[in-house]
């Protein structure tokens, strides 16, 4: 069937609308014809011919007809304010395709490159470029312009990116809420957490949650506070488990637990002889007594690094940090091996084997406590799966 024949049958179908009642109309023929035409139809080349067919026939649909027909490439809609005159609109693929195109635009704006956006989204660059060109045709505005080798949004593009982010968020919330209805028998839950606290805390929460709701798909992304917050702001994570403080761009939704921070000292250090500590018993010490010792700490920007510097500042000295590690287990292992002293979470003293134990102390000025919260993006509404998970997590925290 060639293009002219396709247009002939579309023309016949439009004429039919003026004589057939809405109850007896069968739109499947129209959809079939448009799918055949998809092999040949280019919107810019043939749209004028379709418009002319509609103008020549001047269809007057029945008052009860909705007048909306969607297709791959074109759609027909009725403008009720102008006496039911039909208009041809460029509607390419429905809501799913529209959301995907918005995601393309937002990703290009974030990365400044069509090729990088295509690589991140696992699509070909021509397909991504074509989708954005279709949107530009629909809106009659250019989305991007080249600036110092980057694809930068135009004024219109900035509006689309800003509104598009919100539309994508709302669309995701809608899909999430629908998938989580019917007593949480389906849905997804994406959580960010540091590897150490995934092991000592979150794994138990997730085990209980899965036992109650086995059809909810849970994905855990391990990372430290900054990467977890970035994932939440980017919409990649629903919840994050982090210690305070955290920026006001995210919002706390539940207190998970509180944990004591201890000073860890290598077992072979002579200072231990003054206190004769036992496992599980943490004598109080004055941090000033450790001012001349080397310190093992975490990487810059980590909350435990800030705690180390603040406690030493209060004691009147700056710590001589000779080694930095990425994880709590590594910091504790370096201290236990004799590299230096340092601050660690109290839970490490409970879970690490005796061969990797350091000697742990409290500071004489009082316990150092830090709070862990589940956080989410500011003004984000939690879906049923997320709410139920938080309830179970808080119940577990009361028994820790």
Q: In this model, does residue 142 exceed pLDDT 70?
A: yes
What backbone torsions phi and psi does residue 371 show, to the nearest 5 degrees?
Answer: -105, 140
Comparing CA positions, the residue from 70, 97, 229 lying closest to residue 171 is 97
Q: What is the pLDDT of residue 213?
A: 82
The residue extents of the domains of the chain are: 3-89, 94-179, 184-253+372-397, 258-371
* SS3 (DSSP) at 295: strand
Q: In this model, does residue 320 exceed pLDDT 90?
A: yes
Q: Predicted confidence band at 94 (pLDDT cuts at 50, 70, 90)?
A: low
Mean pLDDT of the chain: 77
Q: Predicted confidence band at 120 (pLDDT cuts at 50, 70, 90)?
A: very high
From CA 266, how far away is CA 287, in angstroms rounded?
15
Q: Predicted confidence band at 374 (pLDDT cuts at 50, 70, 90)?
A: very high
Q: In this model, does residue 371 exceed pLDDT 80?
A: yes
Q: Predicted confidence band at 400 (pLDDT cuts at 50, 70, 90)?
A: low
Q: What is the pLDDT of residue 2?
A: 44
Lowest mean pLDDT among 1-10, 285-294, 304-313: 1-10
Mean pLDDT for 186-208 is 86
In terms of CATH, what superfamily is 184-253+372-397? Periplasmic binding protein-like II (3.40.190.10)
For residues 54 and 84, the answer to whether their CB atoms sit within 8 Å is: no
Higher pLDDT, 89 or 184: 184
Cα angle at 238 between 233 and 242, to 5 degrees? 75
Q: What is the pLDDT of residue 54?
A: 46
Q: In this model, does residue 33 exceed pLDDT 50?
A: no
Per the listing, tokens 């995934």 go with: 198
From CA 400, how far away is CA 304, in angstroms rounded?
21
From CA 172, how far away is CA 186, in angstroms rounded?
15
Higher pLDDT, 85 or 239: 239
Phi-psi region of 205 (alpha: psi -120 to 50; beta: other; left: phi over 0): alpha
Q: What is the pLDDT of residue 399?
A: 58
From CA 328, how far away is CA 343, in angstroms rounded?
10
CATH number of 94-179: 1.10.10.10
Higher pLDDT, 63 or 94: 94
Mean pLDDT for 126-145 is 92
Report, at the CATH architecture level, how domain 258-371 is classified: 3-Layer(aba) Sandwich (3.40)
From CA 398, how far away is CA 400, in angstroms rounded?
6
Per the listing, tokens 């004799």 go with: 338
Cα angle at 256 between 253 and 257, to 5 degrees? 145
For residues 185 and 388, the answer to whether their CB atoms sit within 8 Å is: no
Q: How many CB atoms lie within 10 A of CB 108?
A: 28
Mean pLDDT for 295-302 is 90
Do the domains spanning 94-179 and 184-253+372-397 agree at the CATH topology level? no
From CA 349, how far away is CA 264, in angstroms rounded?
9
Strand partners, 257: 372
Higher pLDDT, 84 or 387: 387
Q: Predicted confidence band at 228 (pLDDT cuts at 50, 70, 90)?
A: very high
For residues 246 and 229, the answer to whether their CB atoms sit within 8 Å is: yes
For residues 157 and 143, the answer to whether their CB atoms sit within 8 Å is: yes
β-bridge pairing 188-193 and 217-222: parallel
């Amino acid at each position: 069937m060639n293009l002219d024949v396709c247009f002939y049958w579309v023309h016949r179908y439009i004429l039919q609308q003026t004589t057939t009642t809405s109850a007896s109309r069968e739109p499947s023929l129209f959809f079939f014809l448009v799918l055949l035409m998809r092999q040949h139809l280019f919107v810019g080349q043939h749209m004028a011919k379709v418009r002319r067919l509609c103008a020549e026939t001047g269809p007057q649909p029945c008052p009860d007809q909705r007048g909306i027909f969607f297709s791959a490439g074109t759609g027909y809609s009725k403008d009720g304010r102008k006496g039911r005159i039909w208009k041809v609109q460029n509607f390419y693929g429905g809501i799913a395709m529209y959301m995907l195109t918005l995601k393309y635009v937002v990703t290009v704006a974030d990365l400044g490159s069509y090729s990088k956006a295509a690589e991140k989204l696992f699509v070909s660059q021509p397909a991504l470029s074509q989708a954005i060109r279709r949107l530009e045709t629909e809106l009659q505005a250019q989305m991007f312009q080249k600036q110092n080798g980057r694809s930068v949004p135009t004024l219109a593009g900035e509006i689309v990116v800003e509104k598009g982010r919100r539309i994508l968020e709302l669309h995701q919330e809608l899909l999430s809420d629908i998938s989580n209805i019917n007593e949480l028998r389906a849905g997804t839950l994406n959580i960010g957490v540091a590897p150490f606290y995934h092991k000592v805390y979150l794994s138990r929460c997730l085990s209980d949650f899965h036992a109650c709701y086995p059809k909810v798909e849970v994905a855990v992304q391990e990372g430290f506070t900054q990467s977890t917050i970035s994932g939440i702001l980017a919409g990649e994570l629903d919840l994050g488990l982090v210690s305070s403080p955290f920026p006001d761009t995210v919002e706390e939704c539940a207190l998970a637990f509180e944990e004591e921070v201890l000073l860890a000292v290598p077992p072979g250090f002579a200072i231990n002889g003054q206190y004769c500590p036992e496992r599980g018993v943490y004598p109080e010490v004055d941090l000033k007594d450790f001012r001349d010792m080397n310190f093992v700490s975490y990487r810059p920007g980590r909350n435990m690094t800030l705690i180390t510097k603040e406690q030493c500042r209060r004691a009147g000295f700056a710590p001589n940090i000779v080694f930095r590690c990425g994880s709590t287990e590594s910091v504790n292992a370096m201290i236990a091996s004799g590299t230096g002293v340092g601050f660690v979470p109290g839970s490490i003293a409970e879970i690490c084997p005796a061969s990797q134990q350091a000697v742990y102390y409290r500071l004489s000025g009082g316990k150092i406590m830090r709070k862990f919260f589940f956080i989410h993006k500011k003004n984000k509404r939690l879906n049923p799966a997320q709410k139920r998970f938080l309830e179970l997590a808080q119940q577990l925290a009361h028994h820790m």
